[in-house]
Amino acid sequence: MATSLNGSRTAAIVARAQALFDDLSFTAARAWKDAAPDRKVIGYMPIYVPRELIHAAGFLPLGILGGGDQLEVIHGDAYYQSYICRIPRSTIELGVSGRLDFVDGMLFPSICDVIRNLSGMWKMMFPHVYVRYFDVPQNYRDDIGGNYYVNELAELRHDLGTLRGKPITDEELNRSIAVYNENRRLVRELYAFRAQRPWQVPAAEAYLMVRAGMVLPVEAHSELIGDYLAAAATEERPRRDNCRIVLTGVFCEQPPLNLIKSLELAGCYVVDDDLLLVTRWLTADVSTDGDPLQNLARAFLHQSESTAAKYEPNLKEKGQHLVRAVRRSGAEGVIFACPSFCDPALLERPMLQHVLNDAGIPHIAFKYAENSGQMQPIREQAGTFSDSIKLWSAT
Amino acid sequence: MTTIVTPKGAPAKQVAKDDSMLKQKEMMAAHYDRLTNAPETGDKVASTFVPGNLNELIMCFGLLNNLPEVNAIQSGLRRQSGAYVLEAEKIGHSEDVCTYVKSDIGMMAKGNIGPNGKRLPDPNVLLLSYTGCFTFMKWFELLREQYKCETIMLHTPYMGDGKITRNMIDYMVKQLKEEVIPTLERVSGVKFDIDRLREYLKKSAAAEEDLVRVLQSAKRKPSPIDAYFGGIYYIGPIFGAFRGTDDAIDYYKFLRAEVEERVAAGKGPVTPDGDMEKEKYRLVVEGPPNYTNFRQFWKMFYDEGAVVVASSYTKVGGVYDFGFRHDPANPLETLAEYCLGVYTNRSLPMRIDMLANYINDYEADGLLINSIKSCNSFSAGQLLIMREVEKRTGKPAAFVESDLVDPRYFSAANIKNRLESYFQMIEQKRAGARAAA
């Protein structure tokens, strides 16, 4: 009886997250904005923006991750050649079709040339919207990259304060940092729980839980994850004879939900991934004492995830984050899933593969687009990978 | 003077070249000899990129400047890049990514033979000037994996808001002072001398002045130069290993005099088939050229009487025509400003302004975009650029697609068709304008 009650509780939480995921009109974010005057919504793209600043202004940070496999791209294709990835064209589609007409600002982080150029396109196409290309340092010394980043943060803080009509104070910012520290802790807890008992937390559910944080206010998102963790922990779910893999390369254009499900159906438990990195980009709590911009900068420089969009100054350290992810999560292999035409993921891939080879970690690779529909080849490839791990890894 | 040159191995075909082109070729050949002789001479080598190329600084340490993009271009022109790209794909590099990178990596895998037929030396240092192109960062990480040599990152912030801020300059100068220069000192064993840098910068500014005069000569009718196909010859020394040298000053003086002679004689540009007879169409071109079929591509223009009067590609290694010159009075700040200002580090609205202004200032008939499959830095957003420039100038624009050094992506018939349609479109516009008048 307890199981079925918990099961229905988990199902209800997942259904809510699924509804948020499916909603390409961003109804929840619109409702949040309409609930009080002077509320504003600031969109952002992958990989990372300091959402604390947006929150401190009293605004809603809204993650924009393209249109997925349910959005028909009509106008967006007219802006891009066939050899450009899919996320910018579906993002343009969201904009041109009016689905983002309630968004007051857009942040385009420094991830690749396509997203970089999209920032300029957005300025041209939506001149009434606040648009900022958000550059981050590739130099990790506090007195060099740190100073630069603090000044960039100060400029963003100033702009958001201007949008609000009142400067953002240190107290507001420190409060927001605390709220996001809590959110990051919960996301990390979710990842740790999944790594421990992946049959209890299917990859698609974990994804939906984290993805909900792209549209919900952070407080509501933290509550959602807390509820899910409590429900999922007590639910009894069958344990499959799956192998355990780390999924990597999926940090920008999102794989279809069906792709994530297919991996598990094919025999691969996803025990770590680089999906939606913004939710756990900073790997430890950010201090809430002192100068909040300095604290955010220090966290970025010294306690943030490694990914293809970041320069790794130390050759020996290159790719070790992936080896550590494998060891930490008890994974038996790595699946590289890279969006077609994704420069960061595809240029990075050979280097990471070399590191995995040296570490004796098996891996496979394939490409996808956010609207990939045919999962059979991926399922076959992942299934074969899983079989090979189970049959041969011991030898 | 225009000289008829018979290329080696192709006796039937003669190619016309200006003296400046021959001089440029000699300079480049001499540089490649310096590079390939480095193991014997003991010279140390710094690999770096064209956009954000800090040649003056590199010379302060007695290092030789090696540019992987230029090596890839040379492989493309020599029809070797196709095999190199395939080699890189064979060892795991995606078919989707930049072919400059794959040509470079394939070339290494096949012995790293330079255009003079000799082996290029391993670099002693990789100076990753991360300017205007994301791929650069990964490219040098890939090279570092191969060479295992010292690598310096110089991060150039992007001009997303269309301006250079104090914060950007300070960040770059601090990187130069505390990371780049100390590492170059360590690698080279040469102490940094800021006065030496000032001297080089003074020479850079002199050459830049003459280059701008040459490029702006295309405002004349007929234009004495082709600012895209010919322009690629002209930018070679200043975008490469010669900026800051007496050789560059001499070359650009010589080139300027040669162009002035053409102006005085009322001549159009020289093409591989001799002087262009009648200028029928004046174009602004956005995007890099294709190098595997460079002459064939050029011929499609000059056969129709089309001359390129301004191009964005000839600004990737520095934008000088709006007044920037290297400033010896502020040596490190000027290097920062140079890196920040290169074409691909400019925001999309800035690029649109620049291209629309070129069309007006050079009285061009329209904009042609050669969209490169390999290069997202250039290509992402070009369809919007095309529409916006058309809207602002009222001049027609056209779009062709090819690749830098991958011969698989050069479809001559397709490109020729589109160009012919485009020239017809210009004619129709002209006829419409005449009728309206």
Q: What is the pLDDT of residues B340-362, one digit of tens each?
A: 999 999 999 999 999 999 999 99
Give the CATH number of the domain where residue A140 resides. 3.40.50.11890
CA within 13 Å, CB half, A174: 10
Q: What is the pLDDT of residues A334-370, one digit of tens each?
A: 999 999 999 999 999 999 999 999 999 999 999 999 9
- How high does pLDDT run on average in chain B? 95
Q: Do A80 and B144 touch (CB under 8 A)?
A: no
Disruptive mutation site among B95, B97, B169 for chain A (greatest number of A CBs within 10 Å): B97
Question: How far B184 CA sits from the closest chain A CA (Å)?
Answer: 16
Q: Do B153 and A125 touch (CB under 8 A)?
A: no
Q: Does B183 touch chain A (CB under 8 A)?
A: no
- Predicted confidence at residue B14, as pLDDT, reads 73
The residue ranges of every structural domain in chain B are 19-436
Residue A98 gets the label, from left (phi > 0), alpha (psi -120 to 50) or beta, of left
Q: What is the pLDDT of residues B137-156, one digit of tens each?
A: 999 999 999 999 999 999 99
Inform me whether the pLDDT recorded for A1 exceeds 50: no
CA within 13 Å, CB half, A76: 20
Q: Of A304, A111, A337, A109, which Cα lies nearest the Cα of B135? A: A111
Q: Does B130 touch chain A (CB under 8 A)?
A: yes
Inform me whether the pLDDT recorded for A2 exceeds 90: no
Inform me whether the pLDDT recorded for A7 exceeds 90: no
Report if residue A261 sits inside a domain.
Answer: no
SS3 of B35, please? helix
Using a CB-CB distance cutoff of 8 angstroms, which residues of chain B are in contact with residue A116?
134, 158, 160, 377
> What is the C-alpha radius of gyration for chain A, rounded to an integer number of angstroms?
20
Question: How far A146 CA sits from the closest chain B CA (Å)?
Answer: 9
SS3 of B91, please? coil
Question: How far A121 CA sits from the closest chain B CA (Å)?
Answer: 7
Q: Do A315 and B137 touch (CB under 8 A)?
A: no
Backbone angles phi, psi at A138, to 5 degrees: -105, 10
Q: Does B144 touch chain A (CB under 8 A)?
A: yes
Question: How far B294 CA sits from the closest chain A CA (Å)?
Answer: 22
Nearest to B96 among A139, A315, A341 (CB): A341
Number of domains in chain A: 1
Nearest to A350 among B92, B167, B401 (CB): B92
For B47, B211, B290, B326, the CA distances from B17, given in Å and listed in that order, are 30, 18, 20, 30
The chain A residue lying nearest B378, using CA atoms, is A113
Helices A2-22 and A203-211 cross at an angle (nearest 10°) of 50
Using a CB-CB distance cutoff of 8 angstroms, which residues of chain A are in contact with residue B146?
none
Using a CB-CB distance cutoff of 8 angstroms, which residues of chain B are in contact with residue A139?
153, 155, 171, 175, 179
- Predicted confidence at residue B3, as pLDDT, reads 66
DSSP B176: I
Nearest to A84 among B158, B380, B388 (CB): B380
Nearest to A81 among B93, B170, B379 (CB): B379
Q: Do A347 and B101 touch (CB under 8 A)?
A: yes
The angle at the Cα of B406, spanning B404 to B412, to the nearest 5 degrees, equals 85
Using a CB-CB distance cutoff of 8 angstroms, which residues of chain B are in contact with residue A117?
348, 376-377, 380-381
Disruptive mutation site among A77, A86, A135, A363 for chain B (greatest number of B CBs within 10 Å): A135
Once rounded to an integer, what is the mean pLDDT over residues A298-302?
Answer: 98
Q: Do B174 and A353 touch (CB under 8 A)?
A: no
Question: How far B301 CA sits from the closest chain A CA (Å)?
Answer: 23
Q: How confident is the model at residue B15 (pLDDT cuts 50, 70, 90)?
A: confident
Q: How confident is the model at residue B18 (pLDDT cuts 50, 70, 90)?
A: confident
* DSSP string of A98-154, one letter each residue: TTTTT--EEEEESS-HHHHHHHHHHHHH-TTSEEEEE---S---IIIIIHHHHHHHH
Q: Which residue range forms the structural domain that includes residue A149?
A: 23-172
Q: Of A282, A274, A370, A386, which Cα lies nearest the Cα of A325? A: A274
Disruptive mutation site among B100, B137, B178, B385 for chain A (greatest number of A CBs within 10 Å): B137
Query: Where would I find the beta strands (DSSP E) of B101-160?
Result: 125-130, 150-155
Inform me whether the pLDDT recorded for B10 exceeds 60: no
Q: Does B108 touch chain A (CB under 8 A)?
A: no
CA within 13 Å, CB half, B243: 31
d(CA B226, CA B311): 9
Report if residue A59 sits inside a domain.
Answer: yes
Q: Do B139 and A133 touch (CB under 8 A)?
A: no
Inform me whether the pLDDT recorded for B104 exceeds 70: yes
Task: Evaluate whether B282 touches B305 at the Cβ level (below 8 Å).
Answer: no
Inform me whether the pLDDT recorded for B270 exceeds 70: yes
Task: Evaluate whether A133 touches A122 at the Cβ level (below 8 Å).
Answer: no
Reported pTM = 0.96
Using a CB-CB distance cutoff of 8 angstroms, which residues of chain B are in contact with residue A342?
96
Percent of chain A with pLDDT over 70: 98
Once rounded to an integer, what is the mean pLDDT over residues A286-309?
Answer: 97
Percent of chain A with pLDDT over 90: 96
Q: Does B420 touch chain A (CB under 8 A)?
A: no
Inform me whether the pLDDT recorded for B437 exceeds 90: no
Nearest to A344 among B133, B134, B153 (CB): B134
Once rounded to an integer, what is the mean pLDDT over residues A102-127?
Answer: 98
- Predicted confidence at residue B29, as pLDDT, reads 95
Q: Does B381 touch chain A (CB under 8 A)?
A: yes
- Partnered with residue B46 across adjacent β-strands are B65, B125
Nearest to A144 among B157, B158, B175 (CB): B175
Q: Which two tokens stand for residue A275?
A: 């999906």
Query: Where would I find the beta strands (DSSP E) of A196-260?
Result: 243-248
Q: Of A148, A122, A143, A229, which Cα lies nearest the Cα of A185? A: A229
Task: Evaluate whether B109 touches B150 at the Cβ level (below 8 Å).
Answer: no
Q: How confident is the model at residue B436 (pLDDT cuts 50, 70, 90)?
A: confident
Q: Do B130 and A137 touch (CB under 8 A)?
A: no
The chain A residue lying nearest B386, using CA atoms, is A79
Residue with tokens 């990596």: B105
Once rounded to an integer, what is the mean pLDDT over residues A185-213?
Answer: 97
Q: Does B408 touch chain A (CB under 8 A)?
A: no
Inform me whether the pLDDT recorded for A3 exceeds 90: no
Q: What is the pLDDT of residues B394-427, one digit of tens each?
A: 999 999 999 999 999 999 999 999 999 999 999 9
Taking a contact as any Cβ pair under 8 Å apart, which residues of chain B between 36 and 95 contact chain A?
91-94
If you count residue pairs, one on A and one on B, with CB atoms under 8 Å apart, how many are there? 162
Inform me whether the pLDDT recorded for B7 exceeds 60: no
ipTM of the complex: 0.95
Once rounded to an integer, what is the mean pLDDT over residues A110-137?
Answer: 97
- Predicted confidence at residue B53, as pLDDT, reads 95
Percent of chain B with pLDDT over 90: 93
Once rounded to an integer, what is the mean pLDDT over residues A251-256?
Answer: 98
Q: Do B171 and A148 touch (CB under 8 A)?
A: yes
Report if residue A375 sits inside a domain.
Answer: no
Question: How far A351 CA sits from the closest chain B CA (Å)?
Answer: 7
Q: Do A120 and B92 touch (CB under 8 A)?
A: no
- Predicted confidence at residue B16, as pLDDT, reads 79
Disruptive mutation site among B348, B374, B418 for chain A (greatest number of A CBs within 10 Å): B348
Inform me whether the pLDDT recorded for A395 exceeds 80: no
Task: Evaluate whether B308 touches B227 at the Cβ level (below 8 Å).
Answer: yes
Using a CB-CB distance cutoff of 8 angstroms, which residues of chain A are in contact with residue B388?
124
DSSP B347: -
